[in-house]
Amino acid sequence: MCGRFILISSQKELTEEYGLIETPEVRPHYNIAPSQEIAAIRYTPGAPNNRELIFLRWGLIPFWSKDPSKSSGLINARSETIDSKSAFKSCLKKRRVLIPSNGFYEWSKSATGFKQAYLIHFRNHRFLSFAGIYDEHKSPAGDIVRTCAIITTESNKELKTIHDRMPVIIRKNDYTLWLEAENINRKEFRGMLRPYNIPGLEILQVGAKVNKPGYDKPDCMEPPGDICAKSENSCQTPLFPPR
């Protein structure tokens, strides 16, 4: 699954990466958690470059839900079954988004039950663009509530040492196809939902502060002090070593 991630790029970097003309202010976040408002890029005909940055509440609530106030929403959608689930299939056809990030957290569980957190990222904080879907629901007061889910797939060979699921990551060359494709059964479209190896992606063992969903400070990304004191190499290990 994907339950936490970071977004620390500047507004200028977001604009350049996603071909946006204008973007609202996006503050750096070091521990984004479900139920929070997150930035997303969607295809909007008529907008500059047909793209706009919007904010969505993380935790998808289908439009047909009778009482969204009683649901925290679905934070992930499995790529293997997304087009057969009633909560997701219409969103996959018509309401796809890119969710910008600079990395995501996962936890591995030891035989003793201890959970160790890891940050999967690029050292230079390049973008990792998650495949997402969103839906709109009208509240009893008439307000439009937009919610979203991150699409996940099975982990690739390297990430399986930590967790069996990972977010679907869209390559920059595929941004337009992901956002604008009308035929979602095309081979090229389906290929985007599979796991793939990303050269240069690394794993960083981090401390326990990230375990608190409400804690959102830069030290979430820092390794545990005792491990770094023992060995610098044990703090940061390349998942995909240079070839």
> Residue 226 has what pLDDT?
55
Least confident of 16-30, 46-60, 125-139, 215-229: 215-229
> Residue 67 has what pLDDT?
64
**What is the maximal distance between C-alpha atoms in the chain?**
57
> Residue 129 has what pLDDT?
97
What is the per-residue pLDDT across 175-213, written as a single tens digit (0 to 9) for each?
999 999 988 888 889 899 998 777 888 999 999 999 999
At 25, is the pLDDT very low, low, confident or very high (cuts 50, 70, 90)? very high
Catalytic annotation, pick one of 52, 106, 158, 202 = 106
> Residue 65 has what pLDDT?
79
Distances (CA, A) of 137 to 69, 77, 84, 95, 149: 11, 18, 21, 13, 14
Residue 1 has pLDDT above 90, yes or no: no
Task: Burial-class residue 16 by CB neighbours within 10 Å (0-12, 13-18, 19+).
Answer: exposed
What is the second-level CATH architecture of the domain 5-108+125-201?
Answer: Alpha-Beta Complex (3.90)
At 229, is the pLDDT very low, low, confident or very high (cuts 50, 70, 90)? very low
> Residue 118 has what pLDDT?
96
> Residue 187 has what pLDDT?
86
> Residue 239 has what pLDDT?
44
Catalytic annotation, pick one of 2, 91, 148, 220 = 2
Q: Residue 49 — φ and ψ, nearest 5°?
A: 60, 15
| Cα distance between residue 54 and residue 47, in whole Å | 12
At 234, is the pLDDT very low, low, confident or very high (cuts 50, 70, 90)? very low
Supply the DSSP symbol for 4. Answer: -
At 242, is the pLDDT very low, low, confident or very high (cuts 50, 70, 90)? very low
What is the per-residue pLDDT across 111-160, written as a single tens digit (0 to 9) for each?
788 899 999 999 899 999 999 999 998 777 788 889 999 999 999 888 88
| Two structure tokens written together for 196 | 């793939």
| Cα distance between residue 96 and residue 149, in whole Å | 10
Where is 229: in which H helix or E strand? helix 225-230
| Two structure tokens written together for 116 | 């160790």
> Residue 197 has what pLDDT?
79
| Cα distance between residue 76 and residue 61, in whole Å | 11
At 230, is the pLDDT very low, low, confident or very high (cuts 50, 70, 90)? very low
If you write DSSP's letter for every residue of 161-210 in order, what string do you get? GT-SEEE-B--GGGHHHHHH-S-TTSHHHHHTTS----TT-EEEE--GGG
Residues 107 and 118: beta-carbon distance below 8 Å: yes
Give the residue from 18, 53, 27 showing the smallest Cα distance to 39: 53
Beta-bridge mates of residue 5? 32, 104
Clarify whether 136 is annotated catalytic.
no
Residues 119 and 6: beta-carbon distance below 8 Å: yes
At 232, is the pLDDT very low, low, confident or very high (cuts 50, 70, 90)? very low
| Two structure tokens written together for 202 | 């690394």
At 243, is the pLDDT very low, low, confident or very high (cuts 50, 70, 90)? very low
pTM (predicted TM-score): 0.90
Q: Residue 89 — φ and ψ, nearest 5°?
A: -65, -35
Specify the amino acid at residue 230.
K
Clarify whether 106 is annotated catalytic.
yes
What is the per-residue pLDDT across 41-98, written as a single tens digit (0 to 9) for each?
999 999 989 999 999 999 999 888 776 665 678 999 999 999 899 889 999 999 999 9
